């Protein structure tokens, strides 16, 4: 009996210590690949509570919530090409937003007021950022520039981050919501891609400056640069948590391995959230 009591205490204490890694406030939305298809899924930040939001014979990917958490925008191959789709947060009322079948539309994201969706499209013969009303309509190209422009992410003030190769390497740029007042953010050497901004004005992005693709953090003007991760795999698609305390990201070899991880900034602890399957494209559910 005494031996059993000791074992129970050890297991109980270990469980308490593990739970201290999380504040249990948030959920993470992401895509999980299954054979040639993919579903949009939710999981709690401690790795429990996994559930599917979509489950169809098609690839649904790139999910992102509206800022009020009521809707989800994503890209899907449900009708052959990658196109932008919209659904309610519970997975109901799914509807297609973009339609031309001549190119792929992907990586959508809501504007802060929920009225517009920005996304990447190759419909011009190169990759550009387009705007589309969340209620539907014609998409407008707002980056008719040299090179490819990808991965738009809105700031709370309505400006948009994206990355471009117009100067010969990948770098992160900032523009207003109409594609004007474009400025390059000086983030140093290497290819700098896929930026996301925190509520207090810091950006997290991926860079290959040290030979591997790792996460870095800086102020929006490029100052106070800090390397966050160092892995033999690829760390990218990072997103700030709503409270700015954590960063969720994808760690992948882009072939057979891809999982969702969290970086807790207060102690720089990396925590693997998904254990099974091929998981990618994470984003936080608004609190």
The predicted model gives 109-129 an average pLDDT of 96
CA dist list (Å): 81 to 76, 78, 93, 256: 7, 7, 20, 23
Burial class of residue 64, CB neighbours in 10 A (0-12, 13-18, 19+): buried
Supply the pLDDT for residue 207: 98
Q: Within a 10 A sphere around the Cβ of 280, how many other Cβ atoms?
A: 22
Q: For 39-69, how does the pLDDT look when each residue is reduced to its tens digit (9 = 90+)? A: 999 999 999 999 999 999 999 999 999 999 9
pLDDT at 102: 81
Are 158 and 111 spatial neighbours (Cβ–Cβ below 8 Å)?
Answer: yes
**pLDDT digit string (tens) for 165-207?**
999 999 999 999 999 999 999 999 999 999 999 999 999 999 9
* Range 235-253 average pLDDT: 97
Closest by alpha carbon to 65, among 25, 26, 23? Answer: 26
Among the listed residues 85, 79, 31, 89, the one whose alpha carbon sits nearest the alpha carbon of residue 58:
79
- Give the chain's domains with CATH numbers: 26-284 (2.120.10.30)
Mean pLDDT of the chain: 91
Task: Report the alpha-carbon distance of residue 23 to residue 44 in Å, rounded.
Answer: 10
pTM over 0.85: yes
pLDDT digits (tens, 9 = 90+) for 67-77: 999 999 999 99
């Amino acid at each position: 009996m005494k031996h059993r009591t000791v074992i129970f205490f050890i297991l109980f204490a270990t469980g308490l210590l593990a739970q201290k890694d999380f504040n249990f406030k948030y959920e993470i939305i992401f895509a999980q690949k299954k054979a040639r298809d993919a579903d949009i899924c939710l999981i709690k930040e401690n790795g429990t509570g996994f559930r599917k939001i979509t489950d169809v014979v098609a690839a649904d990917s790139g999910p992102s919530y509206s800022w009020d958490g009521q809707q989800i925008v994503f890209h899907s191959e449900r009708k052959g090409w990658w196109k932008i789709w919209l659904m309610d947060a519970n997975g109901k009322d799914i509807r297609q937003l973009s339609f031309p079948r001549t190119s792929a539309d992907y990586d959508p994201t809501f504007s802060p007021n929920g009225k517009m969706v920005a996304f990447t499209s190759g419909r011009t013969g190169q990759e550009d950022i387009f705007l589309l009303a969340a209620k539907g309509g014609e998409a407008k190209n707002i980056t008719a520039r040299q090179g490819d422009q990808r991965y738009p992410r809105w700031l709370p003030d309505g400006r948009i981050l994206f990355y471009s190769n117009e100067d010969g390497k990948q770098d992160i740029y900032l523009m207003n919501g109409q594609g004007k007042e474009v400025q390059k953010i000086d983030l140093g050497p290497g290819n700098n891609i896929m930026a996301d901004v925190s509520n207090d004005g810091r950006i997290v992005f991926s860079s290959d400056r040290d030979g591997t693709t790792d996460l870095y953090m800086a102020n929006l003007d490029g100052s106070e640069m800090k390397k966050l991760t160092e892995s033999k795999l690829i760390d990218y698609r990072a997103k700030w948590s709503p409270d700015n305390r954590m960063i969720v990201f994808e760690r992948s070899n882009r072939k057979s391995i891809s999982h969702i991880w969290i970086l807790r900034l207060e102690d720089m602890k990396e925590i693997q959230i998904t254990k099974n399957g091929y998981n990618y494209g994470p984003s936080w559910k608004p609190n």
